[in-house]
Structure 1
Amino acid sequence: MTGGWRDGLRLSFGTLTVLPAGMPSRVDRKVGGRAMVLAPVAGAVVGGIAAGVIALAQLVKPEADLLAAVLGVLVVAGLSGALHLDGLADFADALGSRRDRETMLRIMKQSDIGPFGVVAIIGVLLLDVAALTACLQADFGWQALLIATTASRLTLPWSCRTSIPAARPDGLGTIVAATVRPLTATITTTAVLAAALALTWLSPAASPIRYAGSAAAVLLTVATSLATTRRARTALGGTTGDVLGATVELALPVALLPLALTT
């Protein structure tokens, strides 16, 4: 791995997780774009650790699927530093205010969480736990979480594609916005899709409908990114770090739901 990609990997882990990754030797827009392309790798590591926790919980208490699901979701949130949940709350509060662009951007910079933010966080966490519980009951739990955490981070290269500018002149958005070419995002998507199908093939009782669920999980996260960034561009004029975090959090239940419904 070249120095630029190594810096991108460090930046990806440094901004998307609480895991020790070291400091990149430089941080610029080129490194920022590579960090977003490598975001699914960070998601896979977070998901892998959470999957291990789920497997351990099931080993100790095989019938406690709900408990294992809650633990898995909490580990993902904790290893992400709750950063994406905070972004989701800020974005929800901004959109919920239905104010002008400058006011919404100001709301997103405030440290408090309003009612729309609270509802958004509770809603996605409930969906995460419910969908993951259904996957666990179908003996596809840790695999589903690993697929979903990886696919949800796939939203980042799509959210940072070259047609989406930064909404403000400061913050994370200025480093990563408009840094990823659509072709690069497409190649990354293909790699994640292949990995998801391979993991499904290795799981017990693999079936055509389960393959379809895994493919849908990946492709729907891309659709989530496209829809969210379009809304952000309309309301805010572009993307921000909070929008990126919100997209990741929205994509996680979007990925888990087809996996739950096809197991």
Structure 2
Amino acid sequence: MPTEPTLVAGARLALTTFTTLPVRAGRIDRPVAGAAMALAPAVGALLGALLAGVLLLLAAAAPPLLAGGVTVGVAALLTRGLHLDGLADTVDALGSYRSGPAALEIMKKPDVGPFGVVALVVVLLVQAAALAELAGRSWPACLAAVVAATAAGRLGVTLACRRGVPAARPDGLGALVAGTVGPVAPAVGAVAVALVAVAAVPGRPWQGPLAVGVAVAVAVALLTHVVRRLGGITGDVLGATVEVVTTLVYLGLALSD
């Protein structure tokens, strides 16, 4: 039986990793993992288009904040809530002021501590409020905003998996994907997401790319701090990066006079 091409296998792995779509995972190894992490922003864009449709349909029949809140819930369902779980675990570990194995042990615990709870509440509230604001714009602007924010969150994963960033553990998702992405994919992904974001704020073509740029800069700073504290990335760190970047882009796009 012929071996599945790396790009095809990577696309399948990206879909099964970042969504709940019923796609069967095929070949899984580090080259395939690298392709999947490079394709993460594209999967985010597809997910964002679906979420924008949900938001616009709901906003036509319900108050904007309610539409935004339900859309956030749909996003969690379509991603199994894994990114939110990763955010809570990562914030709990960083908030403990412990480093290395001690911090990693906190991340493995099934319960959520106070730092994680606060992080989840803030992120969900900001996202819902931002989506409520975006729902009041023209449908092309709303579509561009949600697609850009969702794709940017997955671009954070591409950045986290670039060469030179180690894994914190010898096993798990972090060990599979750490250091698998070359320099081209993050650059291409950043440009593509910034271009989509241009249309997100009518009359201010600079605001969308600026929001993406600031979010990416924060992601790089966060990853640098995490590597210093934990020794590398984990699957939870990837999930936290998705939520932090997505939230910051939503916030930057929703700001207006």
Alignment CA distance shift 1:215-1:227 (3 Å): same
**Is 1:15 matched with 2:9?**
no
Structure 2 counterpart of 1:149: 150
Structure 1 counterpart of 2:122: 123
- How many residue pairs are counted as aligned between the two chains? 252
Alignment CA distance shift 1:104-1:113 (3 Å): same
Amino acid at match of 1:70: G
Alignment of 1:1-263 (within 5 A): 3-24=5-26, 26-61=27-62, 64-139=63-138, 140-197=141-198, 200=199, 206-207=202-203, 209=204, 211-262=205-256
Amino acid at match of 1:96: G
Q: CA deviation at 1:57?
A: 1.1
State the distance in 2 between where 1:45 and 1:166 align: 28
Higher mean C-alpha deviation, range 183-192 or range 170-179:
183-192
State the distance in 2 between where 1:15 and 1:240 align: 14
State the distance in 2 between where 1:240 and 1:125 align: 22
State the distance in 2 between where 1:244 and 1:55 align: 29
How far does the alpha carbon of each residue in 1:132-181 deviate from its partner, in whole angstroms, 9 at most, with x for none? 22222344434322221111111111111111100110100111101112
State the distance in 2 between where 1:100 and 1:256 align: 31
Please tell me whether the aligned partners of residues 148 and 217 of structure 1 are also in contact (alpha carbons under 8 angstroms). Answer: no
> TM-score, normalization: structure 1?
0.90
Higher mean C-alpha deviation, range 123-132 or range 213-222:
213-222
State the distance in 1 between where 2:109 and 2:16 align: 23
Q: Secondary structure at the match of 2:60?
A: helix
Q: CA deviation at 1:196?
A: 3.0
Please tell me whether the aligned partners of residues 55 and 135 of structure 2 are also in contact (alpha carbons under 8 angstroms). Answer: no
CA RMSD of aligned residues (A): 1.7
Q: CA deviation at 1:217?
A: 2.8
Which ranges of 4 or more aligned residues in structure 1 deviate by more than 4 Å? none
Q: CA deviation at 1:206?
A: 2.8
Q: CA deviation at 1:218?
A: 2.1
Alignment CA distance shift 1:69-1:143 (3 Å): farther
> Which structure 1 segments of 5+ residues have no match?
none
State the distance in 1 between where 2:65 and 2:158 align: 32
User: Structure 1 vs Structure 2: percent identity of aligned residues?
Assistant: 44
Q: CA deviation at 1:216?
A: 1.8
Please tell me whether the aligned partners of residues 213 and 262 of structure 1 are also in contact (alpha carbons under 8 angstroms). Answer: no
Please tell me whether the aligned partners of residues 136 and 142 of structure 1 are also in contact (alpha carbons under 8 angstroms). Answer: no
State the distance in 2 between where 1:183 and 1:262 align: 33
Alignment CA distance shift 1:38-1:68 (3 Å): same
> TM-score, normalization: structure 2?
0.92
